[in-house]
Amino acid sequence: MADSTKSVGKLIYDRRTELGITQKEVADFVGVSEATVSRWESGHIDNMRRDRIAALSKILRLSPLAIMGIDDTDLSTRLPDMVPIDARTFRVPIVGRVAAGRPIVADEEIVGYEYIDNKYSKDGHEYFGLRIVGKSMEPTIMDGDIVIVRRQKYVENGEIAIVLIDGEEATAKEVKESADGITLIGHNAAVYTPHFYSAQEVKNLPVQIIGRVVQSIRKF
Protein backbone atom coordinates (compact mmCIF):
# COMPACT_ATOMS: atom_id res chain seq x y z
CA MET A 1 0.00 0.00 0.00
CA ALA A 2 1.44 3.38 -0.94
CA ASP A 3 2.56 5.73 1.81
CA SER A 4 0.31 8.48 0.42
CA THR A 5 -2.84 6.37 0.78
CA LYS A 6 -1.81 5.39 4.31
CA SER A 7 -1.33 9.03 5.25
CA VAL A 8 -4.71 10.01 3.77
CA GLY A 9 -6.37 7.19 5.68
CA LYS A 10 -4.72 8.42 8.88
CA LEU A 11 -5.82 11.96 8.08
CA ILE A 12 -9.43 10.79 7.75
CA TYR A 13 -9.23 8.81 11.00
CA ASP A 14 -7.48 11.57 12.94
CA ARG A 15 -9.89 14.25 11.74
CA ARG A 16 -12.97 12.13 12.47
CA THR A 17 -11.82 11.38 16.01
CA GLU A 18 -10.78 14.98 16.56
CA LEU A 19 -14.32 16.09 15.71
CA GLY A 20 -15.86 13.34 17.82
CA ILE A 21 -17.73 11.82 14.88
CA THR A 22 -18.42 8.09 14.66
CA GLN A 23 -17.81 5.94 11.60
CA LYS A 24 -21.58 5.43 11.40
CA GLU A 25 -22.20 9.18 11.32
CA VAL A 26 -19.68 9.58 8.52
CA ALA A 27 -21.16 6.62 6.66
CA ASP A 28 -24.72 7.95 6.93
CA PHE A 29 -23.68 11.43 5.78
CA VAL A 30 -21.65 10.21 2.80
CA GLY A 31 -24.06 7.40 1.87
CA VAL A 32 -21.78 4.39 2.34
CA SER A 33 -21.41 1.56 4.83
CA GLU A 34 -19.39 1.72 8.04
CA ALA A 35 -17.14 -0.95 6.53
CA THR A 36 -16.34 1.42 3.65
CA VAL A 37 -15.39 4.19 6.07
CA SER A 38 -13.18 1.71 7.91
CA ARG A 39 -11.47 0.78 4.64
CA TRP A 40 -10.89 4.45 3.83
CA GLU A 41 -9.28 4.94 7.22
CA SER A 42 -7.04 1.97 6.49
CA GLY A 43 -5.83 3.71 3.34
CA HIS A 44 -8.07 2.03 0.75
CA ILE A 45 -9.15 5.25 -0.99
CA ASP A 46 -8.46 4.38 -4.62
CA ASN A 47 -11.22 5.36 -7.07
CA MET A 48 -13.33 7.13 -4.46
CA ARG A 49 -16.21 8.81 -6.30
CA ARG A 50 -16.14 12.59 -6.59
CA ASP A 51 -19.50 13.05 -4.87
CA ARG A 52 -18.26 10.98 -1.93
CA ILE A 53 -15.04 12.98 -1.73
CA ALA A 54 -17.15 16.16 -1.63
CA ALA A 55 -19.44 14.79 1.10
CA LEU A 56 -16.53 13.42 3.14
CA SER A 57 -14.74 16.77 2.92
CA LYS A 58 -17.84 18.55 4.21
CA ILE A 59 -18.43 16.39 7.27
CA LEU A 60 -14.72 16.31 8.16
CA ARG A 61 -14.18 19.99 7.21
CA LEU A 62 -11.22 19.06 5.04
CA SER A 63 -10.23 20.10 1.53
CA PRO A 64 -11.19 17.52 -1.12
CA LEU A 65 -7.61 17.85 -2.36
CA ALA A 66 -6.33 16.61 1.00
CA ILE A 67 -8.62 13.57 0.79
CA MET A 68 -7.26 12.94 -2.70
CA GLY A 69 -3.73 12.96 -1.28
CA ILE A 70 -2.79 16.31 -2.84
CA ASP A 71 -0.92 18.84 -0.74
CA ASP A 72 -3.11 21.94 -0.50
CA THR A 73 -0.89 23.95 1.82
CA ASP A 74 0.47 26.05 -1.05
CA LEU A 75 -2.42 28.51 -1.20
CA SER A 76 0.36 31.14 -1.28
CA THR A 77 1.12 32.99 1.93
CA ARG A 78 -1.58 32.77 4.58
CA LEU A 79 -3.57 35.85 5.34
CA PRO A 80 -3.77 37.25 8.86
CA ASP A 81 -5.99 35.15 11.10
CA MET A 82 -9.53 36.28 11.75
CA VAL A 83 -9.74 38.32 14.93
CA PRO A 84 -12.63 37.78 17.38
CA ILE A 85 -14.39 41.01 18.33
CA ASP A 86 -17.11 39.61 20.56
CA ALA A 87 -19.17 36.43 20.94
CA ARG A 88 -20.95 37.05 17.62
CA THR A 89 -18.47 38.89 15.44
CA PHE A 90 -15.12 38.25 13.75
CA ARG A 91 -12.94 40.76 11.93
CA VAL A 92 -11.45 39.71 8.59
CA PRO A 93 -8.97 41.59 6.39
CA ILE A 94 -9.93 43.13 3.05
CA VAL A 95 -7.03 42.47 0.71
CA GLY A 96 -6.20 44.08 -2.60
CA ARG A 97 -8.80 44.15 -5.36
CA VAL A 98 -10.45 41.63 -7.65
CA ALA A 99 -12.22 42.28 -10.93
CA ALA A 100 -15.73 41.26 -11.84
CA GLY A 101 -15.14 42.18 -15.43
CA ARG A 102 -11.65 42.81 -16.69
CA PRO A 103 -9.23 41.11 -14.26
CA ILE A 104 -7.02 43.38 -12.19
CA VAL A 105 -3.62 42.36 -10.86
CA ALA A 106 -4.22 40.93 -7.40
CA ASP A 107 -2.14 41.75 -4.38
CA GLU A 108 -2.48 40.86 -0.73
CA GLU A 109 -1.93 44.28 0.80
CA ILE A 110 -4.52 44.81 3.50
CA VAL A 111 -6.67 47.79 2.61
CA GLY A 112 -9.21 47.55 5.43
CA TYR A 113 -11.31 45.21 7.55
CA GLU A 114 -14.84 43.84 7.52
CA TYR A 115 -16.91 42.21 10.24
CA ILE A 116 -18.64 38.87 9.74
CA ASP A 117 -20.82 36.49 11.73
CA ASN A 118 -19.03 34.28 14.22
CA LYS A 119 -20.51 31.16 12.53
CA TYR A 120 -17.78 31.39 9.90
CA SER A 121 -15.05 30.92 12.51
CA LYS A 122 -16.29 27.43 13.35
CA ASP A 123 -15.72 25.60 10.07
CA GLY A 124 -11.93 25.53 10.11
CA HIS A 125 -11.52 27.72 7.01
CA GLU A 126 -9.86 31.06 6.51
CA TYR A 127 -11.91 34.04 5.32
CA PHE A 128 -10.97 37.33 3.75
CA GLY A 129 -12.65 40.21 1.96
CA LEU A 130 -12.11 41.58 -1.54
CA ARG A 131 -13.54 44.67 -3.20
CA ILE A 132 -15.21 44.04 -6.57
CA VAL A 133 -14.27 46.22 -9.53
CA GLY A 134 -16.41 45.93 -12.67
CA LYS A 135 -19.97 45.14 -13.68
CA SER A 136 -19.85 41.63 -15.13
CA MET A 137 -21.44 40.00 -12.06
CA GLU A 138 -24.35 42.47 -11.81
CA PRO A 139 -27.00 42.30 -10.52
CA THR A 140 -25.74 39.52 -8.21
CA ILE A 141 -22.63 41.44 -7.17
CA MET A 142 -22.31 45.14 -7.91
CA ASP A 143 -19.29 47.27 -8.72
CA GLY A 144 -17.78 48.38 -5.41
CA ASP A 145 -19.27 45.56 -3.32
CA ILE A 146 -17.06 43.77 -0.83
CA VAL A 147 -17.25 39.99 -1.07
CA ILE A 148 -16.41 37.68 1.80
CA VAL A 149 -14.40 34.74 0.50
CA ARG A 150 -13.79 31.35 2.06
CA ARG A 151 -10.27 30.36 1.09
CA GLN A 152 -10.36 27.00 -0.74
CA LYS A 153 -9.24 25.41 -3.99
CA TYR A 154 -12.56 23.99 -5.12
CA VAL A 155 -16.19 25.01 -5.58
CA GLU A 156 -19.32 23.23 -6.68
CA ASN A 157 -20.69 23.97 -10.15
CA GLY A 158 -22.84 27.10 -10.05
CA GLU A 159 -21.03 28.69 -7.11
CA ILE A 160 -19.21 32.02 -7.40
CA ALA A 161 -15.45 31.80 -6.97
CA ILE A 162 -12.42 34.01 -6.93
CA VAL A 163 -10.27 32.62 -9.73
CA LEU A 164 -6.58 33.37 -10.23
CA ILE A 165 -5.53 33.41 -13.88
CA ASP A 166 -1.90 33.09 -14.96
CA GLY A 167 -0.71 33.49 -11.39
CA GLU A 168 -1.50 37.19 -11.07
CA GLU A 169 -4.93 38.15 -12.38
CA ALA A 170 -7.91 37.48 -10.13
CA THR A 171 -11.55 37.60 -11.12
CA ALA A 172 -14.93 36.81 -9.53
CA LYS A 173 -17.08 34.52 -11.65
CA GLU A 174 -19.62 31.73 -11.46
CA VAL A 175 -17.78 28.48 -12.14
CA LYS A 176 -18.76 25.45 -14.17
CA GLU A 177 -16.23 22.61 -14.31
CA SER A 178 -16.12 19.50 -16.48
CA ALA A 179 -13.57 16.96 -17.60
CA ASP A 180 -12.84 19.21 -20.58
CA GLY A 181 -12.00 22.31 -18.57
CA ILE A 182 -13.56 25.20 -16.70
CA THR A 183 -16.04 27.87 -17.78
CA LEU A 184 -16.15 31.25 -16.05
CA ILE A 185 -19.59 32.84 -16.24
CA GLY A 186 -20.49 36.48 -15.66
CA HIS A 187 -24.08 37.29 -14.71
CA ASN A 188 -24.13 40.41 -16.91
CA ALA A 189 -23.90 38.93 -20.41
CA ALA A 190 -23.74 42.39 -21.96
CA VAL A 191 -20.38 42.92 -20.27
CA TYR A 192 -18.90 39.42 -20.07
CA THR A 193 -19.73 36.37 -22.13
CA PRO A 194 -18.84 32.94 -20.68
CA HIS A 195 -15.16 32.16 -21.12
CA PHE A 196 -14.00 28.55 -21.42
CA TYR A 197 -10.51 27.40 -20.45
CA SER A 198 -9.51 23.94 -21.65
CA ALA A 199 -8.02 21.40 -19.26
CA GLN A 200 -4.67 22.12 -20.89
CA GLU A 201 -5.04 25.87 -20.27
CA VAL A 202 -6.14 25.24 -16.69
CA LYS A 203 -2.92 23.34 -16.13
CA ASN A 204 -0.51 25.51 -18.12
CA LEU A 205 -1.67 29.09 -17.41
CA PRO A 206 -2.69 28.01 -14.72
CA VAL A 207 -6.31 28.78 -13.84
CA GLN A 208 -6.73 28.33 -10.08
CA ILE A 209 -9.68 28.69 -7.74
CA ILE A 210 -8.52 30.49 -4.61
CA GLY A 211 -11.80 30.86 -2.76
CA ARG A 212 -15.60 30.71 -2.75
CA VAL A 213 -17.72 33.83 -2.34
CA VAL A 214 -20.03 33.29 0.63
CA GLN A 215 -21.40 36.81 1.13
CA SER A 216 -21.42 40.22 -0.51
CA ILE A 217 -21.62 43.48 1.38
CA ARG A 218 -22.87 46.64 -0.27
CA LYS A 219 -21.73 50.02 1.00
CA PHE A 220 -23.94 53.07 0.52
| pLDDT tens by residue, 117-136 | 777 766 667 888 888 989 99
Residue 208 predicted with pLDDT over 50: yes
Q: What is the pLDDT of residue 93?
A: 83
| pLDDT tens by residue, 97-113 | 776 665 555 555 677 88
CA 16 – CA 30 distance, rounded (Å): 13
For residues 154 and 68, is the Cβ–Cβ distance under 8 A? no
Q: What is the pLDDT of residue 156?
A: 92
For residues 175 and 210, is the Cβ–Cβ distance under 8 A? no
pLDDT band at residue 80 using 50, 70 and 90 as cut-offs: very low
For residues 45 and 67, is the Cβ–Cβ distance under 8 A? yes
Name which residue leads in pLDDT, 123 or 171: 171
Marked catalytic residue, from 63, 135, 136, 153: 136
The overall pTM is greater than 0.75: no
Q: What is the pLDDT of residue 4?
A: 57
* Residues 6+ away with beta carbon under 8 Å from 53: 64, 67, 68
* Residues 6+ away with beta carbon under 8 Å from 18: none
Residue 169 predicted with pLDDT over 80: no
* Residues 6+ away with beta carbon under 8 Å from 176: 157, 158, 182, 183, 185
Q: Mean pLDDT for the chain?
A: 81
Q: What is the pLDDT of residue 91?
A: 81
Closest to 158 in 3D by CA, of 185, 181, 137: 185
Q: Is 136 a catalytic residue?
A: yes
Residues 79-104, mean pLDDT to the nearest whole number = 65
- Looking at the chain, the number of H-run helices and the number of E-run strands are 6, 11
Marked catalytic residue, from 119, 173, 178, 198: 173
Burial of 187 (0-12, 13-18, 19+ CB in 10 A): middle
Give φ, ψ of 134 to 5 degrees. Answer: 120, 170
Q: What is the pLDDT of residue 122?
A: 62
| pLDDT tens by residue, 13-41 | 988 888 888 999 999 989 999 999 999 99
Q: What is the pLDDT of residue 44?
A: 81
Q: Is 63 a catalytic residue?
A: no
Q: Please report, for residues 15, 39, 47, the alpha-carbon distance to residue 124 in angstroms, rounded to integers and kept in the order given.
A: 12, 25, 27
For residues 204 and 217, is the Cβ–Cβ distance under 8 A? no
Q: What is the pLDDT of residue 53?
A: 85
